[in-house]
Structure 1
Amino acid sequence: MRNTLKTFLHVALLPFAMLFIGEVLPAEIGIISPQDAVKLIEHPDPAKRPVVLDTRGGYKDYFRGHLPTAHHLNFDTLRGTDLGVPVQYLPDDLTRALLVRAGVHRDRTHLIYATGEALPNDEILSATMVAYVLEKFGVEDIRIVDGGLPDWKAAGLPVTQEYFGNPPGLLPVKGQPSIALTVEEVLARKGKPGVVLVDARPKNEYLGQDDVWLRKGHIPGAISFHWARLMEEENTHQFKPFEQVQAELKAAGLTPDKELLVYCGTSREGSLLRFYLKHIAGYPNVRLYEGSWKEYASLKQHPAELEESRIGEESGASGVLKSSR
């Protein structure tokens, strides 16, 4: 297993990552090792313990075993069909009610996790999606448990079947709605100098070689960067160190000087790519198109593209996208 602390130090997410009983983390969004997470959960002061959220969609998995004090928040309760389009984010008032019910609190640390295995397991996407929603509603202290439940168990840390219900939470007064993009904003921004539109789905879906979507292909001008390239092969809940993927990101045109517009199928894959670029790589300007391909595909007045797009060699400095013919 790679040295998680080394990763933290490299990306400057946890300057003082070695926790001792009695210490707390500074408020920020990032990742945390299971070893450091359990120290927070077992903090001697109950008021300083984190809100632990198990985001798995399979409730029986929660019943089989979960982290101590983990409250089950099924990621898909935050979405539903709207105007015929499935899995759209719920209206803000409903989302606030669900987050308050889950105990989300503006003054506490939030530990989020799911189960990780090799592909096709993608439960990490439920964790990054919930982290995205919390961030959009103004929460500033969020850590995804790196390695998820498998690494937690591998470290010999305790697992329980006891239910845990958080007391009602208290959300920040001010959210961060600007991290979200509408389809109109995507269409207005894509193709402008310095703007890169990136599709986080598997390459076959990006090229329309699938049986999933209403329409095939991708938004014209979008480049392809599959989210799983950022994760360890044997455990898709474990993030690769930034130095290991930096060259891949640069080759794809995903650099910190760009304005990055991220999307995928339903926004879960895009939420992971955005989380990595924003909170691990430290890129300053990364936003998520929430409607993603499932919404765009229903808007048949807008074209779809089947051929791969790339950053043009002569225009790479400005981020202008060209289709590869």
Structure 2
Amino acid sequence: MKILLTFLTASALLAPVANAEISLISPADAKALIENPDASKRPIVLDTRGGYKDYFRGHLPTAHHINFDTLRGTHEAVPVQYLPDDITKALLVRAGANKDRTHVIYATGDVLPNDEILSATMVAHVLEKEGIKDIRILDGGLPAWKKAGYAATQEYFGNPAGLLPEKGAPEIAANIEDVLAEKDKAEVILVDARPLNEFIGEDDVWLRKGHIPGAVSFHWARLMEKDNTHKFKPFAEVKAELEKAGITPDKKIICYCGTSREGSLVRFYLKHVAGYPNVRLYEGAWKEYVWLKNKSLPTETTPRMAK
């Protein structure tokens, strides 16, 4: 497998994808891409849902199923950590990720507690970190596709082996050393994307309660439409809320959550919808933070007051 990956990356041409961008895409525009008469210009469509039976029940035409959670596993006792890079590359190559193609990523949307959009943003983060530059999240997900009158299919679709870029973008991720070194700087803000009850420690989930000292709470669902948790609110609608929380484009922003899915959505929104220039994701997340250094890293349960 390593030989195959070396060949795939080393033989890749370095020319950028035409009109490459990381952004949202409407169902109509996604449909037009999928139905392009030139097969070489059609997108790689990735259904990221964890429930494989949902894929069987119906999915976008040409959608290849990649369960988001296959990209994570337990490491040094900490569950759901991102896998080593060579394994991640192998999984993405198997899914057809290609440096020269557009990638349309989606899951299902619904009212809370449905959170499958987090699967889409997590996979988008992994692709971006591996150097893929053309990624579109289907705004509204499968429900918006159906609402637009477009048919789902039950036909399987397998992509040919992918072709990854030679150079990735590891800088979009932060590790615990980055967090500890940066969190107290005036120009840095930590954004906790979990629900408020977890932020203040009123939950039955986590080994230790609360949040990283100094972090601000901004639940990911505040960025999404109430009747479809896969559809993003326009930036103009949430700009004032973000500013009230101190989340402004002049800051260096590190997003985190419980396992990195919620944080991946907030990072995607701030970076690729709002256009903030410096946003990273702490991939280890709260699950790692509470375990490290013999559980000695400080926590707090008092929310920072909005400015």
Same fold per superposition (TM over 0.5): yes
2:145 — aligned with what?
152
1:143 — aligned with what?
136
1:306 — aligned with what?
301
Of 288, 292, 301, 1:295 maps to 288
Cα offset for 1:271? 0.1
* CA–CA distance in structure 2, aligned partners of residues 269 and 225 of structure 1: 10
Could you give the per-residue CA deviations for residues 244-279 of structure 1, whole angstroms, max 9, x where no partner exists? 000001111011100001100000000000000000
Cα offset for 1:29? 0.1
1:111 — aligned with what?
104
* CA–CA distance in structure 1, aligned partners of residues 45 and 101 of structure 2: 10
2:55 — aligned with what?
62
2:212 — aligned with what?
219
* CA–CA distance in structure 2, aligned partners of residues 239 and 84 of structure 1: 35
* CA–CA distance in structure 1, aligned partners of residues 56 and 203 of structure 2: 34
Q: TM-score, normalised by structure 2?
A: 0.93
Could you give the per-residue CA deviations for residues 54-107 of structure 1, whole angstroms, max 9, x where no partner exists? 000000000000000000000000000000100000000000000000000000
* CA–CA distance in structure 1, aligned partners of residues 44 and 172 of structure 2: 23
Cα offset for 1:310? 4.0
Could you give the per-residue CA deviations for residues 156-213 of structure 1, whole angstroms, max 9, x where no partner exists? 1121000000000000000000111111110100110211011000000000000000
Gap regions ≥5 residues in structure 2? 1-16
* CA–CA distance in structure 2, aligned partners of residues 158 and 25 of structure 1: 29
Q: Report percent identity of matched pairs.
A: 73
* CA–CA distance in structure 2, aligned partners of residues 192 and 154 of structure 1: 46
Of 28, 31, 41, 1:48 maps to 41
Of 269, 279, 284, 1:286 maps to 279
2:178 — aligned with what?
185
Of 161, 175, 178, 2:154 maps to 161
Q: TM-score, normalised by structure 1?
A: 0.88
Alignment of 1:9-158 (within 5 A): 26-158=19-151
The more displaced of 189-198 and 66-75 is 189-198
AA aligned to 1:309 is R
Cα offset for 1:297? 1.1
The CA RMSD measured in Å over matched residues stands at 1.0
AA aligned to 2:201 is G
Displacement over 4 Å in runs of 4+? none
Cα offset for 1:25? 7.2
The alignment of Structure 1 onto Structure 2 pairs a total of residues equal to 289
AA aligned to 1:303 is P
1:248 — aligned with what?
241
Secondary structure of the 1:214 match is coil
* CA–CA distance in structure 1, aligned partners of residues 222 and 88 of structure 2: 31
Gap regions ≥5 residues in structure 1? 1-23, 314-325
Secondary structure of the 2:231 match is strand
Secondary structure of the 1:131 match is helix
